[in-house]
Amino acid sequence: MQQLVFATNNAHKLAEVQAAVAGKIKLLSLNDIGCHGDIDETGSTFKDNASIKSHFINSKYHINCFADDSGLEIDALNGEPGVYSARYAGQHGNHAANNGKVLTQLADNPNRNARFITVISLIWNGEEHFFEGTVNGSIRTELSGKDGFGYDPVFQPDGYNITFAEMSLAQKNAISHRGRAVEKLVEFLKKNT
Protein backbone atom coordinates (compact mmCIF):
# COMPACT_ATOMS: atom_id res chain seq x y z
CA MET A 1 0.00 0.00 0.00
CA GLN A 2 1.33 3.41 -0.97
CA GLN A 3 2.16 5.86 1.83
CA LEU A 4 1.11 9.46 1.94
CA VAL A 5 1.91 12.03 4.61
CA PHE A 6 -0.86 14.34 5.81
CA ALA A 7 0.96 17.43 7.09
CA THR A 8 -0.90 17.64 10.38
CA ASN A 9 -0.77 16.46 13.96
CA ASN A 10 -4.43 17.41 14.49
CA ALA A 11 -6.00 14.11 15.57
CA HIS A 12 -9.51 15.28 14.53
CA LYS A 13 -8.41 16.14 10.98
CA LEU A 14 -6.42 12.92 10.73
CA ALA A 15 -9.41 10.81 11.78
CA GLU A 16 -11.69 12.55 9.25
CA VAL A 17 -9.29 11.96 6.36
CA GLN A 18 -8.29 8.44 7.48
CA ALA A 19 -11.97 7.45 7.36
CA ALA A 20 -12.16 8.66 3.75
CA VAL A 21 -9.00 6.95 2.47
CA ALA A 22 -9.21 3.74 4.54
CA GLY A 23 -7.91 0.75 2.60
CA LYS A 24 -6.64 2.85 -0.31
CA ILE A 25 -3.57 4.62 1.09
CA LYS A 26 -1.53 4.31 4.28
CA LEU A 27 -1.90 7.76 5.79
CA LEU A 28 0.94 9.05 7.97
CA SER A 29 0.93 12.09 10.25
CA LEU A 30 3.79 14.52 10.85
CA ASN A 31 4.44 12.68 14.11
CA ASP A 32 4.80 9.40 12.20
CA ILE A 33 7.67 10.84 10.14
CA GLY A 34 9.35 12.57 13.08
CA CYS A 35 8.36 16.12 12.18
CA HIS A 36 7.58 17.86 15.45
CA GLY A 37 8.06 21.57 14.76
CA ASP A 38 5.35 23.95 13.68
CA ILE A 39 5.24 25.02 10.05
CA ASP A 40 4.63 28.75 9.81
CA GLU A 41 1.47 29.62 7.91
CA THR A 42 2.44 32.99 6.50
CA GLY A 43 0.18 32.97 3.44
CA SER A 44 -2.71 35.34 2.90
CA THR A 45 -5.04 32.66 1.47
CA PHE A 46 -5.98 29.07 2.33
CA LYS A 47 -4.27 27.96 -0.90
CA ASP A 48 -1.02 29.75 0.05
CA ASN A 49 -0.92 28.17 3.51
CA ALA A 50 -1.68 24.66 2.26
CA SER A 51 1.07 25.01 -0.36
CA ILE A 52 3.63 26.31 2.16
CA LYS A 53 3.06 23.28 4.39
CA SER A 54 3.13 20.64 1.64
CA HIS A 55 6.28 22.11 0.06
CA PHE A 56 8.02 22.21 3.45
CA ILE A 57 7.34 18.50 4.10
CA ASN A 58 8.16 17.41 0.57
CA SER A 59 11.46 19.30 0.44
CA LYS A 60 12.58 18.14 3.90
CA TYR A 61 11.41 14.49 3.83
CA HIS A 62 11.21 13.76 0.07
CA ILE A 63 7.87 11.97 0.36
CA ASN A 64 4.49 12.36 -1.29
CA CYS A 65 2.40 14.52 1.00
CA PHE A 66 -0.53 16.82 1.28
CA ALA A 67 -1.52 19.67 3.53
CA ASP A 68 -4.74 21.51 4.00
CA ASP A 69 -5.73 24.89 5.21
CA SER A 70 -9.28 25.43 6.29
CA GLY A 71 -11.29 28.15 7.82
CA LEU A 72 -14.58 29.81 8.43
CA GLU A 73 -15.68 32.88 6.49
CA ILE A 74 -18.59 34.91 7.85
CA ASP A 75 -20.29 37.40 5.53
CA ALA A 76 -21.21 39.93 8.23
CA LEU A 77 -17.57 39.96 9.42
CA ASN A 78 -16.17 40.66 5.94
CA GLY A 79 -14.90 37.09 5.60
CA GLU A 80 -13.37 36.84 9.06
CA PRO A 81 -11.98 34.81 10.70
CA GLY A 82 -10.70 33.41 7.36
CA VAL A 83 -7.04 32.31 7.39
CA TYR A 84 -6.91 33.31 11.07
CA SER A 85 -9.67 30.86 12.06
CA ALA A 86 -7.47 28.76 14.38
CA ARG A 87 -6.14 31.82 16.21
CA TYR A 88 -9.04 34.28 15.84
CA ALA A 89 -9.21 35.07 19.56
CA GLY A 90 -5.42 35.19 19.95
CA GLN A 91 -4.21 31.82 21.18
CA HIS A 92 -3.86 29.14 18.47
CA GLY A 93 -6.39 26.33 18.83
CA ASN A 94 -8.46 27.84 21.66
CA HIS A 95 -11.81 26.70 20.28
CA ALA A 96 -13.90 28.06 23.16
CA ALA A 97 -12.37 31.54 22.85
CA ASN A 98 -12.69 31.53 19.05
CA ASN A 99 -16.36 30.54 19.20
CA GLY A 100 -16.97 33.11 21.91
CA LYS A 101 -15.43 35.86 19.80
CA VAL A 102 -17.54 34.92 16.76
CA LEU A 103 -20.74 34.95 18.81
CA THR A 104 -19.81 38.29 20.40
CA GLN A 105 -18.82 39.86 17.08
CA LEU A 106 -22.11 38.82 15.47
CA ALA A 107 -24.23 39.63 18.55
CA ASP A 108 -27.75 40.31 17.23
CA ASN A 109 -26.72 40.69 13.57
CA PRO A 110 -29.42 39.00 11.47
CA ASN A 111 -26.93 38.18 8.69
CA ARG A 112 -25.45 34.90 9.89
CA ASN A 113 -24.41 33.51 6.50
CA ALA A 114 -21.08 31.69 6.57
CA ARG A 115 -19.05 29.02 4.82
CA PHE A 116 -16.30 26.60 5.68
CA ILE A 117 -13.56 26.27 3.07
CA THR A 118 -10.77 23.72 2.76
CA VAL A 119 -7.96 23.84 0.21
CA ILE A 120 -5.66 20.83 -0.11
CA SER A 121 -2.21 21.04 -1.67
CA LEU A 122 -0.98 17.61 -2.75
CA ILE A 123 2.58 17.06 -3.88
CA TRP A 124 2.52 13.80 -5.80
CA ASN A 125 5.64 12.59 -7.59
CA GLY A 126 7.02 16.13 -7.60
CA GLU A 127 3.91 17.87 -8.98
CA GLU A 128 1.51 20.04 -6.98
CA HIS A 129 -2.25 19.60 -7.28
CA PHE A 130 -5.01 21.56 -5.50
CA PHE A 131 -8.43 20.37 -4.33
CA GLU A 132 -11.06 22.62 -2.77
CA GLY A 133 -14.21 21.97 -0.80
CA THR A 134 -16.82 24.41 0.49
CA VAL A 135 -19.95 24.04 2.59
CA ASN A 136 -22.37 26.91 3.08
CA GLY A 137 -24.38 27.47 6.21
CA SER A 138 -25.06 29.88 9.03
CA ILE A 139 -23.82 30.73 12.50
CA ARG A 140 -26.07 29.77 15.38
CA THR A 141 -26.65 32.22 18.24
CA GLU A 142 -25.25 29.74 20.78
CA LEU A 143 -23.11 26.60 21.00
CA SER A 144 -24.85 23.32 20.26
CA GLY A 145 -23.40 19.79 20.26
CA LYS A 146 -20.41 18.02 21.76
CA ASP A 147 -18.67 16.35 18.80
CA GLY A 148 -16.32 17.81 16.21
CA PHE A 149 -13.89 20.62 16.89
CA GLY A 150 -13.22 24.25 16.09
CA TYR A 151 -16.34 26.13 15.02
CA ASP A 152 -18.44 22.97 14.66
CA PRO A 153 -20.72 23.87 17.64
CA VAL A 154 -21.81 27.17 16.04
CA PHE A 155 -21.93 26.17 12.35
CA GLN A 156 -25.19 24.84 10.92
CA PRO A 157 -24.83 23.65 7.31
CA ASP A 158 -27.53 24.62 4.83
CA GLY A 159 -30.33 22.06 4.63
CA TYR A 160 -29.85 20.82 8.22
CA ASN A 161 -31.29 21.88 11.56
CA ILE A 162 -28.26 20.68 13.55
CA THR A 163 -24.66 21.87 13.83
CA PHE A 164 -21.57 19.96 12.72
CA ALA A 165 -20.96 19.25 16.43
CA GLU A 166 -24.30 17.41 16.61
CA MET A 167 -23.48 15.15 13.65
CA SER A 168 -21.69 11.82 13.63
CA LEU A 169 -18.26 11.79 11.99
CA ALA A 170 -19.76 9.92 9.00
CA GLN A 171 -22.56 12.49 8.60
CA LYS A 172 -20.15 15.40 8.82
CA ASN A 173 -17.63 13.85 6.40
CA ALA A 174 -20.38 13.31 3.83
CA ILE A 175 -21.09 17.04 3.53
CA SER A 176 -18.18 18.94 5.10
CA HIS A 177 -15.72 21.21 3.34
CA ARG A 178 -12.85 18.88 4.23
CA GLY A 179 -14.89 15.86 3.19
CA ARG A 180 -15.57 17.42 -0.22
CA ALA A 181 -11.93 18.36 -0.77
CA VAL A 182 -10.76 14.91 0.40
CA GLU A 183 -13.24 13.25 -1.98
CA LYS A 184 -11.53 15.05 -4.87
CA LEU A 185 -8.12 14.06 -3.48
CA VAL A 186 -9.18 10.40 -3.21
CA GLU A 187 -10.50 10.42 -6.79
CA PHE A 188 -7.14 11.73 -7.95
CA LEU A 189 -5.26 9.08 -5.96
CA LYS A 190 -7.45 6.29 -7.35
CA LYS A 191 -6.53 7.33 -10.88
CA ASN A 192 -2.84 7.78 -10.12
CA THR A 193 -1.89 4.87 -7.85
Share of the chain above pLDDT 90, in %: 68
pLDDT exceeds cutoff 90 at 3: no
Tell if the pTM clears 0.75, that is, is over it: yes
Q: Chain-centre distance of CA 24, in angstroms?
A: 21
Q: Residue 42 belongs to a domain with what CATH number?
A: 3.90.950.10
Give the DSSP letter string of 57-125.
Answer: HHHHH-S-EEEEEEEEEEGGGTT-BGGGGGGTTSSTT-HHHHHHHHHHHHTT-S--EEEEEEEEEEEET
Known binding residues for substrate: 8-13, 70, 149-152, 172, 177-178
Residues with catalytic annotation? 69
Give residue 47's domain range: 3-192
Task: Count how many domains the chain has.
Answer: 1
